[in-house]
A and B are shown apart, each in its own frame.
Chain A
C-alpha cells in the first residue's frame, strides 16, 4: 500500500512566489525506509510537516494512507498514523516525569490505561531509557531528552515515523541505539520511516535516499547510487560518506579499488587490491 503520496505539491510560507516546497511528486510505499538529504533550507522540514498535516499544500495534494491532509476531518487520524520527532530536544517534553511525558501521546489519543503502561515499557526499552522512567526531563542532557521524545512518538505506535534530524544532538552510542531502533521498527514491524539527516552514514541504512535542493526533489535512488553520483551530489552542496570520499581519493591516484561506502567495504576493497599485487 502507498503510505505517502505527493502530487505536484507546492508550499509557500509567505510570499506567493517563493516556494519552500516547489513541485514535489513523491510516493513512499508502506514499509519503506527513506532518507531525506539536503542542505539547511532546502525544504526537508517543510516536506515533513506536510505529511502529518502540520502544513497543508498551497497547491497540489498530499495523501497519507489515502487520507487527504487538506481535509480537516482526517487530521486526527493522520497525526495518529504519522508520528514526528523534531530537532530541538528542549521543546519536545511536556511533563515533569519521564513516564508521564511518554504517556502524554497515547493518553491524548485515548489509549486505555492498562495498555499505556505496556507502551511506556516498550518505548523506554526501545530507546534505552528505562532507568530514567522516574527522572525529570528538564534535568536530562540534550541527548537523553531526545531519546525520550522518540519514546513519546513510539508510544503512539504510528505507522509512519518521521525523524527530522533527531539524531543531531545524540552521542555516538545514542545515535547507534536510535538508528538500531528505527531499523528494527522498520524491518520487524514494517514501520514506514522517513529519516531526515545530515549524517551520510545514516542515509546508507535506508532503502532509498531522496535529495532535496531549493524545494525540489533532485535525486531519488538507492543510497549507493546517490553516493556514486558524487559530482551531482556536490552540486547540491552535499558531501560523500567519509569511506566513499577516501575511496574516490584512492581511485584518483590510480589504485584499483571498487566503490565503497562503509568502513567494512573500504577495508575489503583495500585488502583485495593489495592482495592482487
Chain B
C-alpha cells in the first residue's frame, strides 16, 4: 500500500491557549516496499504524523491515503485499516496489560480477526512470538511483568505483528535497547520486511541506524518535511542537518572532516561501504606510487 500525505495539518488543543500546531502541511509519499526512516528533532511532529497513518489520530486537515483507504472519508473502514497498518508505539512495553503474554499478544487478533478459531488464534500467537525470537511454550503463560525489559519490548511488537500488517510503523523502536538488542531488532525488521510486511516505517534519532537500514528517509522540522531522499542524499547535507538540531552518521562526520583535508570519500554512509571506499583510496594511492 502506497502512503500519500498531502498538506497534512494537525493542531492539539485547537482554540485554546495551549494550541500546538504539530503538523503544518506535511507532504510525503512512502512507496510500497520501502524501509522508510523518519528523523527530526523532538517535537517536530514525527509521532503525530505516524499516528495519522492508522487513524489513531483522525485527519483534520489535508488529505491522506493508505492504499485504497482514503482517511479523509467518514466512511473509511478504520478498523480494517488498523489491521493492515500496525503501530508499535514508543516504549510499547509500558502498554502491556494482560495477565499472560499469550493473552496480551492475542488481544490484537480479537479486534481485527474475529473470524479466527481458537486453534488458529493460538497458532498466530505462536508464530508472532517466534518471529520476535521468543520461545512460545516457555513464555506464553508468564506475566508480562515478570519478564525482562528486552523481552517485554519483543512481546509488545509480537502483539502488533500478530495480525501480519502490510505496513508496520515503529516509533523509536530501538530507544533504550542495548547495542546487541538494537542490532537484533533491526535484523528482525529486515526478516519480516519483504514477506507479509511490505513496508516498514521507523522513527529514529539514531542517524547511523537510518543510514544502515533505510531505503529512504524524511527529515521533519516544525511540523513539515524539510528534506527527503536516500540516506546518502540526506546525509550529504550535513550543515543543514546540524542547523535542524540533528546529527549525521559517524561515517558522514568523518567524510566531512576528510573532505576539509582534500580527501573525497564517495560513500553511502554505511560503515561497511565507508571502510571499503577508504581502503580503495588507500590501494589506489599505493598502486599509483608503485607505478612511478
**Residues B238-283 near A (CB distance < 8 A):** 245-247, 249-251, 253-254, 257-258, 261, 263, 271-272, 274-275, 278-279, 281-282
Q: Is the interface of A mostly helix, strand, loop or mixed?
A: helix
A219 interface residue per 8 A CB criterion: no
A175 to chain B, nearest CB (A): 8
Asked if residues A249 and B275 are in contact (CB atoms below 8 Å), the reply is: yes
Q: Is the interface of B mostly helix, strand, loop or mixed?
A: helix
**Residues A208-247 near B (CB distance < 8 A):** 237-239, 241-243, 245-246
Question: CB-CB contacts of A57-90 with B at 8 A, as 1s and 0s?
Answer: 0000000000000000000000000000001101
Q: Provide the residues of chain A in CB contact with B43, threshold 8 Å.
A: 140-141, 143-144
Q: Roughly how many angstroms separate A263 CA and B181 CA in the complex, as a whole number? A: 24
A179 interface residue per 8 A CB criterion: no
A27 interface residue per 8 A CB criterion: no
Q: Roughly how many angstroms separate A173 CA and B271 CA in the complex, as a whole number? A: 22
Asked if residues A271 and B279 are in contact (CB atoms below 8 Å), the reply is: no
Q: Roughly how many angstroms separate A87 CA and B91 CA in the complex, as a whole number? A: 11
Asked if residues B180 and A237 are in contact (CB atoms below 8 Å), the reply is: yes
Asked if residues A171 and B245 are in contact (CB atoms below 8 Å), the reply is: yes
B174 to chain A, nearest CB (A): 9
B20 interface residue per 8 A CB criterion: yes
**Residues B86-110 near A (CB distance < 8 A):** 90-91, 94
Question: CB-CB contacts of B94-134 with A at 8 A, as 1s and 0s?
Answer: 10000000000000000000000000000000000000000
The total of chain A residues at the interface (CB under 8 A) is 48
Asked if residues A169 and B176 are in contact (CB atoms below 8 Å), the reply is: yes
Given A141, A172, A264, which contacts B245 in the complex, CB threshold below 8 Å? A172
B185 to chain A, nearest CB (A): 12
Q: Roughly how many angstroms separate A62 CA and B263 CA in the complex, as a whole number? A: 53
Asked if residues A239 and B179 are in contact (CB atoms below 8 Å), the reply is: yes
Given A90, A168, A238, which contacts B94 in the complex, CB threshold below 8 Å? A90
B161 interface residue per 8 A CB criterion: no
Asked if residues B271 and A237 are in contact (CB atoms below 8 Å), the reply is: no
A94 interface residue per 8 A CB criterion: no
A174 to chain B, nearest CB (A): 6
A198 interface residue per 8 A CB criterion: yes
Asked if residues B251 and A277 are in contact (CB atoms below 8 Å), the reply is: no
Q: A40-B178, A172-B246, A277-B286 are in contact. Are A263 and B253 (CB under 8 A)?
A: yes
Chain B residue with Cβ nearest A144: B42
Q: Provide the residues of chain B in CB contact with A90, threshold 8 Å.
A: 91, 94
Asked if residues A40 and B149 are in contact (CB atoms below 8 Å), the reply is: yes
Question: CB-CB contacts of A17-49 with B at 8 A, as 1s and 0s?
Answer: 000000000000000000000111100000000
Asked if residues A173 and B246 are in contact (CB atoms below 8 Å), the reply is: yes
A4 to chain B, nearest CB (A): 23
A267 interface residue per 8 A CB criterion: yes
Asked if residues A198 and B282 are in contact (CB atoms below 8 Å), the reply is: no
Asked if residues B285 and A274 are in contact (CB atoms below 8 Å), the reply is: yes
Q: Provide the residues of chain B in CB contact with A39, threshold 8 Å.
A: 178, 180-181
Asked if residues A263 and B250 are in contact (CB atoms below 8 Å), the reply is: yes
Q: Provide the residues of chain A in CB contact with B285, threshold 8 Å.
A: 274, 277
Chain A residue with Cβ nearest B45: A141
Q: Roughly how many angstroms separate A148 CA and B175 CA in the complex, as a whole number? A: 19
Asked if residues B172 and A172 are in contact (CB atoms below 8 Å), the reply is: no
B246 to chain A, nearest CB (A): 5
Given B180, B246, B254, B281, which contacts A266 in the complex, CB threshold below 8 Å? B254
Q: Roughly how many angstroms separate A241 CA and B251 CA in the complex, as a whole number? A: 12
A45 to chain B, nearest CB (A): 10
Q: A242-B271, A255-B282, A263-B253 are in contact. Are A174 and B263 (CB under 8 A)?
A: no
Asked if residues A271 and B271 are in contact (CB atoms below 8 Å), the reply is: no
**Residues A157-174 near B (CB distance < 8 A):** 165, 168-174
A241 to chain B, nearest CB (A): 8
Q: A40-B178, A263-B253, A263-B254 are in contact. Are A246 and B94 (CB under 8 A)?
A: no
Q: Provide the residues of chain A in CB contact with B178, threshold 8 Å.
A: 38-40, 198, 237-238
Chain A residue with Cβ nearest B281: A274
Chain B residue with Cβ nearest A145: B42
Q: Provide the residues of chain B in CB contact with A242, threshold 8 Å.
A: 208, 249-251, 271
Asked if residues B258 and A141 are in contact (CB atoms below 8 Å), the reply is: no
List 12 other contacts, CB 8 Å, given A144-B43, A171-B245: A38-B178, A39-B181, A40-B181, A139-B20, A140-B43, A173-B246, A201-B250, A238-B178, A249-B271, A263-B254, A267-B257, A277-B282
Give A residues with C-beta under 8 Å from B.
38-41, 87-88, 90, 136, 139-144, 165, 168-176, 198, 200-201, 237-239, 241-243, 245-246, 249-250, 253, 255, 263-264, 266-267, 270-271, 273-274, 277
Q: Which 7 A-B pairs have the closest CB atoms?
A: A143-B42, A172-B247, A173-B245, A267-B257, A263-B253, A239-B179, A242-B250
17 A-B contact pairs sorted by A residue (CB < 8 Å):
A40-B149, A41-B150, A169-B172, A169-B176, A172-B41, A172-B245, A174-B41, A201-B250, A238-B179, A242-B249, A246-B275, A246-B278, A263-B254, A266-B254, A274-B285, A277-B285, A277-B289
